[in-house]
Structures are given as C-alpha cells and as structure tokens.
C-alpha cells in the first residue's frame, strides 16, 4: 500500500496540472490576456468639430458617445499642424522637427521612417501583437522612383505592420489607388500605372486645361490629372481598374478595418485605422449627401462619425469591446477651404471648426495642433474629462508600458495612467510645430518666437501665428490667444525662451 501512495499523489498532481494547462490555453484562445489597441485617426478634424467638444450644429453621436463614456482630453495635441509630421510623431514618439523629411509629402516621396527606428507597431509585434493599418499613410513609400506596378517597399510592412491596406498619400494626391501589403489592389498588369509630380503624360486631361470635365473645381492648386471628375495634385496615367471611387472610400476602409478585427480577434491586435475625412476632396457617399446641411465638409464628418459607430458595433458584436483600448484623435486642426470649391465656406453656418481656439491647420496658434483626443475602454476607463497636457507623441511610450514593453520613444512620455484616467498628470512642456516653425507650451503658457512669414494664408483664410515680435499667451485666461502679454511678463518670456531652446538645442537631431 505504502509503495503506491506516492505514485497516486504524483498521478493526481499530473492530472491537475494537465487540466490547468489545457484550461489556460483554452482561455488564451478565446480571450487574449493582452488587450487590443486601436488608434482611430481623423484627417483635419478640428477641436470644435464634435458635439462632445462643443459643436452644436454638426451632429456626431457616435464620437460623442465615445467621448462621454471614455476620457475626453481638453489639452490633447497632435505633434504638428499638418499631416505627415504628426503621423511620423504618432508612430515613432519622436518630434517631427528632428527629421527634416517630415513635411507634407508628395505621393512619390520615399519612406521617411527609418526601418531601424522604433515604432508603435514594431514594439507591439515584439510583444506578440498582430499589427495592422487601414487608411491614410502619407509617410512615403519605397526609396525613390517607385514602380507602382511592382511590389512597393519599404513601406508600412517594413516599419512594423503585419498587414497594411492604405492610400499612399492623401485623397487629393496621385496615385489614387489602394495598396495592400505593398501591392496595388486590383491592378491590371496590361494597364500599368505611371506617376509624375513634374509633368503630364501625353493625352491625359487636367483640371487646368479641361475644367469642363470636373464635378468639383479646384480653388487653389489641385489642377493636375482628373480622376473620377476631380482634379488632383500630380499626374497619373493607367491603372484604370485600380483607381478608387472617392465616394466609396469611407465604406471601403471601414470594411477593411472590420475585416481586420474579425480575422485577428483571437490574438491581441493593434489596428491603426486612419480615416480620410474631412480632408479634401470631400466626397461623401450619396447616402450622406445633405446629411449635415453644411455641404460636403459637414457631410463627410457625419459619415466619419457613422463609420466609427459601425466599427465600434463590430467590436461589440465580436465581444471585444471590454478588451480593447481605443484612442481617437486627429492629425491636425481644421481648414475650411483647402483647395476645392465645395461649398464648405458658403454652407458653414454657425459651425466653428476650431471651437474657441485661434488659427487652424498650418497654424502655430492653438487650433493648429490642439485636437479632439479621446481614450475609451469599456468597463476599465471610467467616464471623465481630463485637462492634462498630453500629446500624440506620448502614445508610443504609454502603449509600450501597457503592453509590458520597456521601450521608450525619444520624445514620448509614459502617460499611461493619465490615458487610462487614473491620473490627472500630464507632461509639463511641449514643442508645437507648424510647417517647419516651432512654438512652445509650458504649463498654461504658450510662447511663439518671431517669424517673418505672412500672418494669414489667404488661400485657406487661416492665421498662421507669424509675427515679427515674440508672442506670449496665458491660456488660463486667454484660450483664444487674443492678448499677447510678452511685454507685460518679460521674465516669464525669458524663462520660456530658455526652456524652449534647451529642448531644441540639446537633443540630437536624427
């Protein structure tokens, strides 16, 4: 009897251990232990554009719900007042002014993220995440002279994304095709694509020479190749079957994002869903035409809001909502007329895209970079409002912490507790950037150094923030930056200049 006893205990232990192992592997399959992460990123959506941020005429119920049920940041910033630099900073956690290529790029630009550089998808991949991007890229592709008919590389797949379904640059720039994992989607090899930003191809109509062919006319720029009745920036020939239909783009990207979630739901995943709205050309699907009463600009914001609602619905249906951190923001501030006559100015009515802020896209004033910024995680982030100073730059180090990685971005602060609503502490200071100029925020003060350029870009009707003297604003009592108090607070100004220069001068440029 005594001989058998240890064996019995041993076998009981083994059975227990085995069943525990089985159980844990089963648990892992159906409910990943690491929560999913999704960044939904709008293009040119201003601080005052959502109901949750004070809009009254424009209705954005789905984004409002996200904001009300999650954490709504009132001092959340994009790293720049234009697209490419903001997206560069978002993915790398590095200030865009450290990279001289981080400027608005043509569709033929080379990839501006070094393939050796740390990115959000790269660090997540190392932690076992599946990583995907659907939507606008605008960070360059290839190494110059891209042949659009071959495999296009390097691109998103070489900087950390397992899966990519993108447009190369912007909706108003050629090539107007979707690219899946480096391959133009639906391309007929017998009708190859040719792209140039210098000269037209023989026999191709342009907005400049054939305005009668246009359904949307340019107001400034945008008068090169005509595609789908809209003239673009740059010239394109061929690739007929691959060309996107602008009015279907929102549905198309939404479907790809939903598909991505469905096929990756059994493992932890990261999805960067980069919406194309409300950037020009604004082309709502016919079912949204007239939905805002504000013309195409309002209509595509309603459409984007709907897309977010549908996307969240998919997460709910797949049982993923309680296990997914969602971040929503925009790449830069608003612009009403950005190059097409689309009734955006005429039909704007009472809507104020910048809300209480001064400036807009391209501007060093607050509306250039301060944007809607929402974090949402059902059941984990308690509803609230946070005034903490946060930047999209900070997502890299915070997400790293979230996923159990000790990686850090060069200029990225770990504000995970703040993003999850557990702390009200933000960063102390932040360099703001707009079209290669910089300004500085510290606490509630903003300092803009002197810049000689014109004060107002009259084509887009936006104050750029330029002045020949130093500007200093106290956002505490002057959110709209109406009173330059540089002269009244010389010591404060001097301190701001020193702190600003310290950051600009001391850290190495890439």
Cβ 138 to ligand NG6 shortest distance, Å: 6
Asked if residue 331 binds Ca ion (CB under 5 A), the reply is: yes
d(CA 27, CA 281): 46
- Smallest distance, ligand NG6 to C-beta of residue 277, A: 11
- 350's CB contacts (< 8 A; 6+ apart) are 56, 57
What is the smallest separation between the CB atom of 311 and Ca ion, expressed in angstroms?
Answer: 20
Q: Which is nearer to Ca ion, 64 or 331 (CB)?
A: 331
DSSP one-letter string for 315-336: HHHTT-GGGEEEEEEESS---S
- Partner whose footprint covers residue 170, from Ca ion, ligand NG6, none (CB < 5 to 8 Å by kind): ligand NG6
Q: What angle do CA 500, 355, 482 make, to 5 degrees?
A: 55
* 104 vs 497, beta carbon nearer ligand NG6: 104
- The nearest distance, CB 216 to ligand NG6, in angstroms, is 12
| 172-180, 201-209, 332-340, 494-502 -> range binding Ca ion (CB under 5 A) | 332-340
What is the SS3 assignment for 262? helix
Size of the site for Ca ion (CB under 5 A): 5
Which residue's CB is nearer to Ca ion, number 334 or number 409? 334
Q: Which does 341 bind (CB under 5 to 8 A by kind): ligand NG6, Ca ion, none?
A: none
Residue 221 interacts, among ligand NG6, Ca ion, none and using kind-specific CB cut-offs from 5 to 8 Å, with ligand NG6
φ/ψ of 339, rounded to 5, equals: 125, 0
Shortest Cβ distance from residue 79 to ligand NG6 (Å)?
12
What angle, rounded to 10 degrees, do the helices at 296-317 and 61-69 form?
Answer: 50
Q: Which of 41, 43, 233, 264 binds Ca ion (CB under 5 A)?
A: 43
> Which of ligand NG6, Ca ion, none does residue 172 bind to, with CB < 5 to 8 Å depending on kind?
ligand NG6
Query: CA nearest 366: which of 280, 465, 289, 288?
Result: 465
Least separation in angstroms between CB 104 and ligand NG6: 5
Q: Which is nearer to Ca ion, 44 or 223 (CB)?
A: 44
Shortest separation between residue 195's beta carbon and ligand NG6, angstroms: 16
CB of 392 to ligand NG6, least distance (A): 14
Which CB sits closer to Ca ion, 281 or 449? 281
Strand partners, 72: 374, 385
Question: CA distances (Å), 196 to each of 148, 170, 178, 249, in order?
Answer: 11, 15, 18, 23
Nearer to ligand NG6, 173 or 265 (CB): 173
Our finding on whether 49 is near Ca ion (CB under 5 A) is no
Residue 104 binds which of Ca ion, ligand NG6, none (CB < 5-8 A, kind-dependent) = ligand NG6
Counting contacts by CB under 5 A, is residue 434 touching Ca ion? no
Binding Ca ion (rule: CB under 5 A), the pick from 83, 91, 357, 399 is 83
What part of residues 18-37 is at the interface with Ca ion (CB under 5 A)?
Answer: none
Residue of minimal CB distance from ligand NG6? 221
Closer CB to Ca ion, 78 or 496, in the complex: 78
Binding site for ligand NG6 (CB under 6 A): 43-44, 82-83, 104, 138, 170, 172, 220-222, 233, 279-280, 332, 338-339
* Strands 71-77, 384-391: pairing kind: parallel
Q: Look at the block and give the residue holding tokens 């630009």.
A: 109
> Least Å distance between CB 279 and Ca ion?
6
Asked if residue 278 has a cis previous peptide bond (ω within 30° of 0), the answer is yes
Closest CA to 295 of 278, 276, 274: 278
User: What span, in angstroms and rounded, lies between the C-alpha atoms of 108 and 197?
Assistant: 8
CB of 314 closer than 8 Å to CB of 258: yes
- Closer residue to ligand NG6, CB minimum distance, 32 or 76: 76
Scanning residues 154 to 193, which ones bind Ca ion (CB under 5 A)? none
Q: Are strands 324-330 and 36-42 parallel, antiparallel or unpaired?
A: parallel
201-204's contacts with Cβ under 8 Å and 24+ in sequence apart are 201/235, 201/236, 201/237, 204/235, 204/236, 204/237
Q: Does 44 bind Ca ion (CB under 5 A)?
A: yes
Least gap, CB of 27 to ligand NG6 (angstroms): 43
* Closer Cβ to ligand NG6, 104 or 479, answer by number: 104
Q: Which are the contacts of 379, defined by CB distance < 8 A and separation ≥ 6?
A: 322
Compute the 3-state secondary structure of the chain and give helix, strand, coil in percent, each to the nearest 5. 30, 20, 50
The half-sphere exposure of 162 on its side-chain side, counting CA atoms within 13 A, is: 16
Residues forming contacts to Ca ion in the complex (CB under 5 A) are: 43-44, 83, 331-332
């Amino acid at each position: 009897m005594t001989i058998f006893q240890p064996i019995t205990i041993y076998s009981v232990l083994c059975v227990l251990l085995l069943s525990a192992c089985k159980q844990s592997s089963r648990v892992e399959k159906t409910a990943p232990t690491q929560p999913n992460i999704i960044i939904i990123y709008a293009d040119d959506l201003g601080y005052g554009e959502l109901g949750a941020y004070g809009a009254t005429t424009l209705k954005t119920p789905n984004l409002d719900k996200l904001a009300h049920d999650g954490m709504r940041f009132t001092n959340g910033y994009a790293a720049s007042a234009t697209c490419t630099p903001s997206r560069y900073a978002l993915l790398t956690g590095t200030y865009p002014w450290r990279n001289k290529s981080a400027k608005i790029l043509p569709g033929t630009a080379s990839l501006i993220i070094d393939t050796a550089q740390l990115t959000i998808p790269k660090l997540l991949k190392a932690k076992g995440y599946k990583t995907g991007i659907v939507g606008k890229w605008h960070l360059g592709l290839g190494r110059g002279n891209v042949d659009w008919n071959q495999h296009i590389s390097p691109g998103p797949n070489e900087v950390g994304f397992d899966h990519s379904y993108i447009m190369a640059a912007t909706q108003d720039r050629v090539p107007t095709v979707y690219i899946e994992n480096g391959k133009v989607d639906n391309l007929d090899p017998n009708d190859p694509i040719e792209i140039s930003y210098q000269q037209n191809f023989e026999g191709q109509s342009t907005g400049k020479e054939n305005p009668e062919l246009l359904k949307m006319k340019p107001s400034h720029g945008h008068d090169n190749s005509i595609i789908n009745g809209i003239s673009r920036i740059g010239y394109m020939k061929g690739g007929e079957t691959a060309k996107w239909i602008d009015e279907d783009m929102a549905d198309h990207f939404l479907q790809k994002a939903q598909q991505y979630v469905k096929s990756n739901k059994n493992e932890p995943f990261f999805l960067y869903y980069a919406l194309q709205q409300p950037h020009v050309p604004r082309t709502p699907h016919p079912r949204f035409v007239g939905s805002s009463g504000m013309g195409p600009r309002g209509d595509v914001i309603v459409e984007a809001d709907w897309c977010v609602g549908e996307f969240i619905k998919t997460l709910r249906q797949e049982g993923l909502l309680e296990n997914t951190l969602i971040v929503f923001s925009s790449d830069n501030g608003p612009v009403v007329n950005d190059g097409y006559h689309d009734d955006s100015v005429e039909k704007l009515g009472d809507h104020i895209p910048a809300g209480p802020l001064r400036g807009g896209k391209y501007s060093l004033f607050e509306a250039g970079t301060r944007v809607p910024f929402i974090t949402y995680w059902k059941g984990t982030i308690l509803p609230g409002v946070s005034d903490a100073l946060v930047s999209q730059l900070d997502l890299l180090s915070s997400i790293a912490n979230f996923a159990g990685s000790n990686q850090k971005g060069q200029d990225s602060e770990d504000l995970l507790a703040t993003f999850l609503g557990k702390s009200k502490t933000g960063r102390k200071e932040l360099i703001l950037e707009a079209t290669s100029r910089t300004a500085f925020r510290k606490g509630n003060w903003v300092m803009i150094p002197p810049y000689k350029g014109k004060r107002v870009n009259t084509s887009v009707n936006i104050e750029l923030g330029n002045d020949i003297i130093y500007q200093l604003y106290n956002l505490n009592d002057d959110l709209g930056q109406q009173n330059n108090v540089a002269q009244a607070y010389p010591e404060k100004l001097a301190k701001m200049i020193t702190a600003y220069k310290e950051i600009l001068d001391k850290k190495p440029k890439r």
